[in-house]
Amino acid sequence: MDANGGAAFTATDHAMMARALRLAERGAYTTKPNPMVGCVIAHGETVVGEGWHQRAGEPHAEVHALRDAGERAKGATAYVTLEPCAHTGRTGPCADALIAAGVSRVIAAMRDPFPQVDGAGFETLRAAGIGVASGLMETQARALNRGFLSRVERGRPWLRVKLATSLDGRSALASGESKWISGEASRMEVQHWRARSGAIVTGAGTVLADDPALTVRMGDDTPFVPPLRVVLDPGLATVARGRVREGDAPTLYLHAPDAKPPRGLLAQHAAVPLRDGRFDLHAVLRLLAERGVNEIQLEAGATLAGGFLSAGLVDEVLLYVAPVLLGERARPMFDGLAIDTMMQKLKMAIVETRYVGQDIRLLLRPEPST
C-alpha cells in the first residue's frame, strides 16, 4: 500500500523504520499478549528519541520514545512499527501523546487490526493536522508480530511445531524413549523459542513418556514472561503427576467434556468439545486465543503433531535433525497423514537452515495445497 500521499518513502525513512523494528524485537520475550512495538523520533537523519514496548501494562513504545526525546520531539517525525493506539487501555492513547508532544509527521509500518484501534489512531492524528503515512516495511512488521496478528485477524494463535528427529525422520523409539535425539546445543536453543511463545502445548502421551517440565531455562537472567504450559489430556490421565505442574509457570489441562477434574486440582483446567471422539483442534486454538495466547509452540509426539498438521492448523515446523538413524520400528514425525498419491504430498517451504551444534535446524512452513 502506498499510503505516503503518493510520495515514495526515502532511504532515511527506511533506515529509521529498520531501527524501530529492531527496537520492537527487544520485547519478544516480554510483551505478550501485546504486540512488539518500536518507535524512533527523528529530525531528518538525527535520532532524538527511541523506545520500545517492554511489558503488557507498561507504557507503549511511543511514550518511551517521547520521554527520551523531550522538547526535541517538536516538529520531528515519529517512526512507529504499528499504528499508535487511540484508546485508553491500561495506558493512555499514544496518538494523544504524539499530538501533545508536537510531532509533525507519523510514519507507521502498518495499521493495527486490533478492533479498538483499526485506523482510529491515524484518524486522531490526521484530525490534529499531523501528516500520517503507513505501509513502510509492512512485510517485516507483519512478520515480527505474526503471533499477535494471527490471534487478532484469524482468531487463533500462530502454531509452531517443534520436533527433534533422526535423519530417517523418526521422533521416538517404539518404546516411547526419545531422550535425547538432538544435541545439547539444540536443546539450549529451544529455550529461546519457548521464551517468545505464549503457550507450550503438549499431549498426554508425551507427559507419560518424558515427564517434561516445559519451563524456560535460558541459563542467564534475560527477562521473560513464562509461557502457559498446556496439556491436552482427554481423560485427565496425567493430572496426578508430572513436572509440568511444578514451578512458577502456570499450567492448563484441557480435557474431554465428560472427564471430571479431581477435587483439589490446583492447575487450571477447561473442557474442549470433541469431533469424531477426539479434541476439536480448532476449538483448542480458539480457546487459547481467547486466553490471549499469540504464539504456540507444540512440543508433543507424532499423534498431536500429525493431528494439527492434518487439520491444516500448523503455521511452521521447527525441526532439529540429528545425524543419527533410529530405524524402521521407531515412531514417525507425524501420525495420521493419509497420503496415497504424489498429488497429495504435503509441500513445505524451507524458510531457514542452519547448523546448531551437530544438528541441522530447519524452519519450514507448509505451502497452501493447490
Ligand X SMILES: NC(=O)c1ccc[n+]([C@@H]2O[C@H](COP(=O)([O-])OP(=O)(O)OC[C@H]3O[C@@H](n4cnc5c(N)ncnc54)[C@H](OP(=O)(O)O)[C@@H]3O)[C@@H](O)[C@H]2O)c1
Residues with a catalytic annotation lie at 62
Residue ranges in 283-302 that form contacts with ligand X under rule CB under 6 A: 299-302
Binding string, residues 253-282; x marks residues near ligand X by CB under 6 A: -------------------------xx-x-
Residue nearest to ligand X (CB): 301
Q: How far is the CB of 345 from ligand X (least distance, A)?
A: 21
Q: How far is the CB of 159 from ligand X (least distance, A)?
A: 13
Residue ranges in 301-320 that form contacts with ligand X under rule CB under 6 A: 301-304, 307
Does 81 help bind ligand X (rule: CB under 6 A)?
no
Does 51 help bind ligand X (rule: CB under 6 A)?
no
- Judged by CB under 6 A, the number of residues near ligand X is 27
3-state secondary structure the chain: CCECCCCCCCHHHHHHHHHHHHHHHCCCCCCCCCCCCEEEEEECCEEEEEEECCCCCCCCHHHHHHHHHHHHHCCCEEEECCCCCCCCCCCCCHHHHHHHHCCCEEEECCCCCCCCCCCHHHHHHHHCCCEEEECCCHHHHHHHCHHHHHHHHHCCCEEEEEEEECCCCCCECCCCCCCCCCCHHHHHHHHHHHHCCCEEEEEHHHHHHHCCCCCCCCCCCCCCCCCEEEEECCCCCCCCCCHHHCCCCCEEEEECCCCCCCCCCCCEEEECCEECCEECHHHHHHHHHHCCCCEEEECCCHHHHHHHHHCCCCCEEEEEECCCCCCCCCECCCCCCCCCCHHHCCCEEEEEEEEECCEEEEEEEECCCC
Q: How far is the CB of 226 from ligand X (least distance, A)?
A: 20
Does 82 help bind ligand X (rule: CB under 6 A)?
no
Cβ proximity to ligand X, 225 vs 256, nearer residue: 256
Instruction: Using CB under 6 A, pick the residue from 41, 172, 239, 356 that binds ligand X.
Output: 172
Cβ proximity to ligand X, 151 vs 255, nearer residue: 255
Rounded to 5 degrees, φ, ψ at 303 are -65, -55
Using the contact rule CB under 6 A, the part of the chain among 3-11, 28-36, 174-182, 213-221 near ligand X is 174-182
Does 334 help bind ligand X (rule: CB under 6 A)?
no
Q: How far is the CB of 276 from ligand X (least distance, A)?
A: 8
Cβ proximity to ligand X, 18 vs 208, nearer residue: 208
Q: How far is the CB of 213 from ligand X (least distance, A)?
A: 13
Does 242 help bind ligand X (rule: CB under 6 A)?
no
Give me the residues that bind ligand X (CB under 6 A), please.
163-164, 171-172, 176, 178, 181, 202-206, 209-210, 232-234, 278-279, 281, 299-304, 307
